[in-house]
Amino acid sequence: MSEYDFNNFDDFDSGLAVAEPEEAETPTAVDEDDGTQVLVVDTDSAVRDYLTGLIPQGAETVEYLTDAEVRLAAGSYVVLLGPSCSNPESLDRIESWTQAYPRSQSILVTPELTTQLLHKALRVGVKDVVSAPIDQDQLLETIDRIIESIPPEVPSFAPGGAAPVDGEPDMMGRVISVFSTKGGSGKSVTATNLAVALANRSDQPVVLVDGHLQFGDVAVMLKLFADSSVADAISQLDVLDRVMLRDLMTEHAESGLLVLPAPTEPTFADQVSGEQMAQLIDALRRMSAYVIIDLPAIFNDVVLNTIEASDDIILVAGLDIPNIKNVKIGLSTLSLLDIPKERLHLLLNRADSKVKLDVSEVERSLGVDTIAHVPSDVVVPISVNRGSPVVLSAPRSSVARAFEQLAERFIDNKAPGAATQSQGRRKFFG
């Protein structure tokens, strides 16, 4: 008997209807040359049999997470977590897997998918969530994709990780991500100008990462021709040391900013996990005073992990109703992640007198303080097209002054979130 509203296994079976696979095109799910196996975990034997039946090469099965951990300690697995694993206690336990078993990844199978479950699952490191009805081809493709993303060995930036080869102590710089749930709101303009303004003020390295892995345009906005990208850093995480990481970054000559641009191949984004991104951020903050990350306007595993790893999150919003509505939705998702409010800062972009909305009203309704008002000005699109941030190309403009003041707030821990820096943040590396 199943405890998930199914009276018997027949119900479960019909709920998770399987599309008949086309014989010639059935994906493999397991690369025969790869040692990775599929492991099914569920307390209900009918569920275990059902899920195992979806894997042509078969799968190992266990009832409990503790049994699964014995296998994970010994090998590389894609774990299919059945519905009995979707309770909060199980998911909390699974959270430790990413660090404890880096050569295994998991997929959660659920008869019913809620936003809350999806976010919780992604937050604890589950790679994908599959809900009824299950499409077998799609499931097998997902498994194959996950197997490809499993690193060959434990990263050297692992707990208590490799000592920096240059002998310098870790700097543990401040991580600031720039996010918005609305595309085109000005995230990249903000990230590039803030990063350049900080680099101009700081004697220590300042790093800008393009976290918009699919269609990032940080490099274009800074007119940089980079040899390496986030893709190179992520794919070498297992051997990367500080000197190598520095070599992968491109220096912006005018400001000294170190930039890790987005990959030129958009499909790379699918292969990056949130955990890998968090590892990269951790490595970068060890060698810099500030790490600024420009994010895309979506919630995915990479974005959630980046936000969690950040000391400050700048939410960029325009002053119109759709923008404010989107910020509200974003904030409610972030509250699911237990991100402390002190880390969230609102940046109102194109906030000038011609706009009819009352700023203090907006702040009250969102419950987040505004860290900057950036006016609308034609110098911005001109600077974007020139590949030179406003703080350099139009330093006397009111937009440049707004970004300079923003940078100033992060210097010497003046920003509101400063007091909470490093507190309560999920630790990946001890």
Ligand X SMILES: Nc1ncnc2c1ncn2[C@@H]1O[C@H](COP(=O)(O)OP(=O)(O)OP(=O)(O)O)[C@@H](O)[C@H]1O
Contacts with ligand X, residue ranges (CB under 6 A): 180, 183-189, 212, 296-297, 349-350, 374, 376-377, 380-381, 384, 399
Binding-site string for Mg ion from residue 141 to residue 180, where x marks contact by CB under 5 A and - marks none: ----------------------------------------
Neighbours of 57 (CB within 10 A): 12
Work out whether 192 is an interface residue with Mg ion (CB under 5 A): no
Q: Could you please report the per-residue DSSP string of 116-182?
A: HHHHHHHHTT--EEEESSP-HHHHHHHHHHHHHHS-SS--TTSTT-PPPTT-PPP--PEEEEEE-SS
Work out how close the CB of 187 gets to ligand X at its nearest, in angstroms, rounded to a whole number.
Answer: 4
Which residue lies nearer to ligand X by CB, 147 or 221? 221
Is residue 399 within 8 A of residue 349, CB to CB? The reply is no
Q: Which does 175 bind (CB under 5 to 8 A by kind): Mg ion, ligand X, none?
A: none
**Residue the block writes with tokens 């190992």:** 60
Residue number, 294 or 312, with CB nearest to Mg ion: 294
Quote the least distance from Cβ 281 to Mg ion, whole Å.
18
Q: Please, which residue, 146 or 189, has the CB nearer to Mg ion? A: 189
Residue 424 interacts with, from ligand X, Mg ion, none (CB under 5-8 Å by kind): none
Q: List the single partner that 377 binds among Mg ion, ligand X, none, CB under 5 to 8 Å by kind.
A: ligand X
| C-alpha span between 2 and 16 (Å, rounded) | 14
Contact partner at residue 285 from ligand X, Mg ion, none, CB < 5 to 8 Å by partner kind: none
* Rounded-to-integer distance, Cα 270 and Cα 112, Å: 24
* 7, 30, 87, 312 from 4: Cα distances, Å: 8, 29, 11, 39
| Nearer to ligand X (CB atom), residue 127 or residue 212 | 212
CB nearer to Mg ion: pick between 147 and 391:
391
Cβ atoms of 421 and 172 within 8 Å: the answer is: no
Residue closer to Mg ion by CB (options 180, 305) is 180
CA dihedral 253, 257, 258, 264 (to 10 degrees): -80
* Residue owning tokens 């990032």: 216
Size of the site for Mg ion (CB under 5 A): 2
Among Mg ion, ligand X, none, the one that 266 touches (CB under a kind-dependent 5 to 8 A) is none
- Closer of 126 and 221 to ligand X (Cβ): 221
- The distance from CA 399 to its chain's CA centroid, rounded to whole angstroms, is 29
As measured in angstroms, the least distance from the Cβ of 313 to Mg ion is 15
* CB of residue 129 to ligand X, shortest distance in Å: 25
Q: What minimum distance in Å lies between the beta carbon of 354 and Mg ion?
A: 24
Nearer to ligand X, 266 or 381 (CB): 381
Give yes or no for residue 185 binding Mg ion (CB under 5 A): no
Q: How many helices (H) and strands (E) does the chain have?
A: 18, 13
To the nearest whole angstrom, how small is the minimum distance from the Cβ of residue 221 to Mg ion? 9
CB of 409 to ligand X, least distance (A): 18
Candidates 365, 398, 330; CA nearest to 185 is: 330
Q: Helix (H, G, I), strand (E, B), or coil: what is residue 21? A: coil
Q: Does 190 bind Mg ion (CB under 5 A)?
A: no
For residue 374, the partner it binds in ligand X, Mg ion, none, with Cβ less than 5 to 8 A by kind, is ligand X
Residues 6+ apart with CB under 8 A from 355: 319, 320
Q: Residue 229's binding partner, choosing from ligand X, Mg ion, none, with beta-carbon cut-off 5 to 8 A by kind?
A: none
Helix (H) or strand (E) holding 188: helix 187-201
C-beta of 68 vs 407, nearer to ligand X: 407
188 is a site residue for Mg ion (CB under 5 A): yes
Beta-carbon contacts of 164 under 8 Å, excluding residues fewer than 6 positions away, are 170, 241, 242, 286, 287
CB of 42 vs ligand X, minimal distance in Å: 39
- Quote the least distance from Cβ 215 to Mg ion, whole Å: 8
Whether residue 391 contacts residue 277, with contact meaning beta carbons closer than 8 Å, is answered with no
The residue ranges that bind Mg ion (CB under 5 A) are: 187-188
